[in-house]
Amino acid sequence: MAQSIQVNLQSLMTQALTVTIVAATTACGGALPPPTTADARAASVRWPGTSVEQLQSGRRAYLEQCGKCHSLKSETAVPKEVWEETVNRMRTKNGAKLTDEEVADIARYLFAISSR
């Protein structure tokens, strides 16, 4: 009895560790891919004429600004249509110090890569 509880506890801890490792890996900035021309096309559906360079600025700003209060969120954290208002909310409600340009670039980048 005591032994089986110990085994269960151990497997639970292993599971918890696995979840932590997976979360840490997906939250890692390195997991967020550099933008491609296909991403620029995807973003252009919503923001016509979006360039790869703009998406690169968005990725840079994202890596610099979005891990300050919590871990970097993955592009799948919210539905792609909701990224713009989420990024805006970080500034208006949560106090993230972002320029208009950074908000726009980050929203485009996250929208684009979550369209993949």
d(CA 1, CA 57): 58
By C-beta, is 13 or 29 nearer to ligand HEC?
Answer: 29
If 0-12 CB within 10 Å is exposed, 13-18 middle and 19+ buried, where does residue 1 land?
Answer: exposed
Taking the complex as a whole, the smallest distance from the CB of residue 9 to ligand HEC amounts, in Å, to: 31
Secondary structure string (H, E, C) spanning 58-113: HHHHHHHHCCCCCCCCCCCCCCHHHHHHHHHHHHHCCCCCCCHHHHHHHHHHHHHH
* Residue 96 binding ligand HEC, by CB under 6 A: yes
From the list 68, 81, 85, 116, which residue makes contact with ligand HEC (rule: CB under 6 A)?
Answer: 68
Site size toward ligand HEC (CB under 6 A) is: 18
Quick check: 63 binds ligand HEC (CB under 6 A)? no
Whether the Cβ atoms of residue 58 and residue 105 lie closer than 8 Å to each other: yes
Query: Which of 66, 104, 112, 113 touches ligand HEC (CB under 6 A)?
Result: 66
Segment near ligand HEC (CB under 6 A); pick from 5-13, 15-23, 42-50, 93-101 = 93-101
Give the nearer residue to ligand HEC in terms of CB position, either 4 or 93.
Answer: 93
Contact positions with ligand HEC (CB under 6 A) in 28-57:
none
